[in-house]
Chain A
Amino acid sequence: MTGFLQSGPVHVALEAGALTAVVSGLVGVFVVLRGQSFAGHALGDLGTLGGSGAYLANVNPLWGFVGVGAVVAGAMDLLGVQGRRGRDVATGVVLGAALGISALLLYLDTTTTSTTGATITVLFGSLFAVSPGTVPPMAGLACLGVVAVAFVYRPLLLASVHPELASIRGVPIRAVTLGFLVLMGVTVSLTSMVVGTILSPALLIGPPAVALRLSRRPPVAMAMAAGLGLVATWGGVVLAYASQTWPPAHAGWPISFFVVAIIFVAFVAVELPSRLVRPKRGPD
């Protein structure tokens, strides 16, 4: 482990991971409370399009994720795809077409440019591959996210848990919904930088889901979610660094695997006991 803290990529990875863990903890609690994890999942998948396009245009993938995330979030609100009905055929077909086009862009990335790792970096992320120059914009987006959450906290919470009461109190539900989706788009672009587009739902909703299991009070849950996110990303960095000497390849295991695995273990640890003791059968 000597040289761990002297390593440049490790510093960048720790910073980027911490920034993302905090924002996704705050925003993710609302995503879980509002039952919008499918929208988070779809945003991640569609972000593939932005990331692969950014590689092709030789732009930092962060901007591809942010651009597509914000636009798609707006479009999803217009089409009303969030919620249960959003899982229907139209979403499936749109997602399919977008992933198909991403496949082509990634193929062109690897054949026409020298970025052979684009597929892995976009889909599965690689914190060690984040360039030092990406940290300031990530910090800016993270600050934006935290400020936005603080700003809309009360109306958003009311609109999430009690929409009727919120509209009586004069909360502009539609504006809050749209604003939150855009905020989610920005957050997903950060999580996509850390663990990649198709694993980003794990970091967005995993820690908040665990935290909400332990405390129903949103501020406490947010703090715990951010803490768990931090443990997962930093733990992932440490384990991936250590795994350079592990079998079978001695080339280091993927950092995203460790991040997702830590989150999954935490989720199973809080979820399993209650399920084993008292299996609930809710309506489908």
Chain B
Amino acid sequence: MFSGFMVNAWAVGTIIGVVAGAVGFFVVLRGASFVAHAVPLSSFAGAAGASLVGADTVMGLAVFAPVAALSIGWLGRRRRSDVATALVVATMLGLGSLFLSWRTEYVSAVYGLLFGDIVGVSDAQLWLTSALAAAGLVAVALMYRPLLLSSVAPEVAAARGVRRGLVDVLFLLLVSLVTTMSVPVVGALLMFPLMVGPPAAARAVSRSPLSAIALAVGVALVTVWVAIAASYLTTWPVGFFVGTVAAAFYLAARAWSALRR
């Protein structure tokens, strides 16, 4: 389980757990789970396009995810944004299915990108993921106070001179960064449970932001590790375990906080 091709899967899975937990805390705090759902789905086209031309899927995601995040953020400012966002997401998914239909191994390629694939992690992907993760964590550390303040008390943040538009854009870029890292492993459809479930569980249990972030990272790591191990042992899709384990953690945390009250 820890040999050969699995080493890269474990390494990337661990990095994903840390960054998804940390960024996911702010996703939950800002009530942005819809963005966390829509961005990975839209970047599916990028991953499909990259795999069509023979490039690393991470490269395609790195180009498409920020574009998708910024356009969803831009659409979200306008009236009837639901409709526009839903149409953009569907069009990008359709484009992705078109790209994949040009490949011979159509079905398995679609399946892997949507529901995750633990065996396909290349060395190049590992290095790129590490670099992106380092950049993401530095960004979270630098933006920690303004991001927190603008999420819980927008008025106070504005009074203190925090530029809301800038923080919004940087936050969307953070989400797209996590998307780029996670989609090749956990899949476009099942990335948002990882980004929403563990932080929501942590928030139900802990009040202080720093301990909630630490707890979210811990829960996300356990979720990813359990999912990779279980997927390796059963050969079932990794996305199944990510989705159900994240939901189980959330339910357990809600039950625990309800009992304690």
Contact = CB atoms under 8 A, between A and B. Distances in A.
Nearest to B191: A96
A120 B110 contact: yes
A170 interface: no
Contact of B91 (A98, A117, A205, A260): A260
Contacts of B247: 93-94, 96-97, 100
A27 B170 CA distance: 38
Q: How large is the interface on B (under 10, 10 to 19, 20 to 34, 35 or more residues)?
A: 35 or more
A205 B237 CA distance: 31
Given A248-B102, A257-B95, A202 B90 contact: yes
A206 B88 CA distance: 10
Contact of A284 (B77, B236, B241): B77
A26 B188 CA distance: 32
A277 interface: no
A217 interface: no
A106 B106 CA distance: 15
Given A202-B87, A281-B78, A100 B193 contact: yes
B168 to A, nearest CB: 9
B28 interface: yes
A63 interface: no
Contact of B86 (A205, A251, A254): A205
B69 interface: no
Given A256-B97, A260-B90, A271-B84, A99 B244 contact: no
A96 B36 contact: no
Contact of B237 (A37, A104, A120): A104
Interface stretch (A6-14, A71-79, A84-92): A84-92
Q: For A116, A117, A120, which residue has the most chain B Cβ atoms within 10 angstroms?
A: A120
B94 A256 contact: yes
Contact of A100 (B87, B90, B106, B241): B241
The A interface is mostly helix, strand or loop, or mixed, namely helix
Contact of B107 (A98, A100, A120): A120
A27 to B, nearest CB: 15
B243 A97 contact: yes
Given A107-B236, A254-B101, A280-B79, A264 B87 contact: yes
Interface in A194-236: 198-199, 201-202, 205-206, 209
B91 A264 contact: yes
A116 B108 CA distance: 10
A96 B94 contact: no
Contact of A97 (B90, B91, B193): B193
B239 interface: yes
Nearest to A118: B107
Contacts of A202: 86-87, 90-91, 94
16 contacts: A32-B80, A87-B33, A88-B31, A89-B200, A96-B243, A99-B190, A99-B243, A103-B114, A107-B237, A117-B107, A120-B106, A198-B90, A199-B90, A253-B98, A264-B88, A284-B76
Interface of B: 28, 31, 33-34, 36-37, 41, 76-80, 82-84, 86-91, 93-95, 97-98, 101-102, 106-107, 110-111, 114-116, 187, 189-190, 192-193, 196-197, 200, 236-237, 239-244, 246-247, 250
